Every structure is written in C-alpha cells, then in structure tokens.
Amino acid sequence: MGELFVVGMSWRTAPVAIREKLAFREEEVPGVVSHLVAQPGVQEALLISTCNRVEVYGVGDAAEPSARATRAFLMAQRSLPPSELGNALYQHHGPQAVRHVFRVASALDSLVVGEAQILGQLKSAYGVAGQVGATGPTLARCLERAFGVAKRVRSETSIARGAANVSSV
C-alpha cells in the first residue's frame, strides 16, 4: 500500500494565465492519467483540470519521490520549465493530502466557498481514472470518504445556503 500525495495549482497559487498553461482538455485526461500511473513509483492517480485548479491526486511507493516525478511529468507534458511556474505548484503528502482532498470536495477550497460544482468535477475525474484502471484501494477509500464528508458539510452546515458559482458571482 502506498502513500497519498497531491500535486497541483489553484486559484490561490497561480493566476489564470499560468493555470491555463498547465490545464488539460477533457479528452486529454484519460491518456494523461494512464501515463501518470506508468511513471516510476506512481501506483494510482487521477487528474482534475478545471478553470480554477489543476491537480493530481495520487498514490505512490513513497509520497515525496512520487510527487516529484508527477511535478516533472506535468511540466514535461506542457513543455513548461520550472522557472515559468515559480512557486505555483504545491504538493501535499499523507494527512495533509487527505485534508486537502476533503477541503476541495467540500468546496472549502473553492473560489466561491460552498459552490457544488467542484464535487461533481471531482467525481467525474475519479470516474475517468477508474475507467483507465488508474485507481486502486487507497484513492478509492480517500475519495469515498471525501464524498461522504462533502455530503455532511452540505447537509449539516449552512455552507450551501446562498452558494453560487464563479460565473454567477
């Protein structure tokens, strides 16, 4: 069993011009995810690429080297030198990665806190990764829990009351 990691950028860490350089079109995602799990040390992966974030949720033999390989892979896919991204890419491992996934699923890490769109996008990304055989027990357990946490947050708090999305704001 491997270690969970997250590598990505979001509206918090990069302006839209930088996020667009790393973004992947919907039809690219299955191939990219398949190539990700072919990287040394990467056992499971999913890619979420939206207007506000590009993130890989992965499981590796060891989180730090797997995250480094994923960072290098993403930059190579878009021919981006590290200097162009600066500090825009972040990475989380272990409990911090789980916390991040839960915050994203619950729309606590959204440009518009409480918007429901990100949960659907995350479920879709998980489905695509599953279709290409890139998920396994660790991502499954993490994401199933994240989906449950998101449901609880929406039903047991007032976060969804009056929530909108970026385009309506």
> Which are the catalytic amino acids?
51
Handedness of CA 168, 17, 123, 146 (dihedral sign): negative
Q: What is the DSSP letter of 51?
A: S
Question: Residues with Cβ < 8 Å from 13, sequence gap 6 or more?
Answer: 87, 88, 89, 90
94 closest CA partner among 75, 128, 66, 74? 66
